[in-house]
Amino acid sequence: MTDLSPDGGALSPPPSTLSRQRLARGSSAQSALSQPFSGQMLLTLQIASRRAHLAELETGMIAACEAAALGTRSRTSATIERKHWGRTTWHRYLAAAMRLEATYGPRMRRLRREIGQLERLQTLLTAS
């Protein structure tokens, strides 16, 4: 059966399974050398990406908790004011944190789990 390309020309048939297996075995060392990133570098990039996303989620959750704790008051120096927060403000902050856990918690736990898995994989790759 001949497949047609988008411009109407004929495409060559895909290689057989045996041919693909031979190509994969024979070129594995070659393909590893031609890859622009090493496995170690890819893992490092994946870990950094997940850490950045986790930091964004944490920042978002903290901002939402501060907004709930401070209400309509000015939030220009909220982090500096924390040492001056009263018991009521802290209760509002913690109540917001407990309420927002359902929104932020699962994603944050998943990212932490993935970071741990990638770090273990990176350690194994380094050790071998």
| CA gap 62, 50 in Å, rounded | 18
Convert the pLDDT of each residue in 38-96 to its tens digit. Answer: 888 999 999 999 999 999 999 999 999 999 998 876 555 555 578 888 999 999 999 99
Give the three-class secondary structure for 103: helix
Convert the pLDDT of each residue in 19-48 to its tens digit. Answer: 444 444 454 444 445 556 688 899 999 999
| CA gap 114, 81 in Å, rounded | 35
Give the three-class secondary structure for 72: coil
DSSP structure string for 19-63: HHHHHHHHTHHHHHHH-SS-HHHHHHHHHHHHHHHHHHHHHHHHH
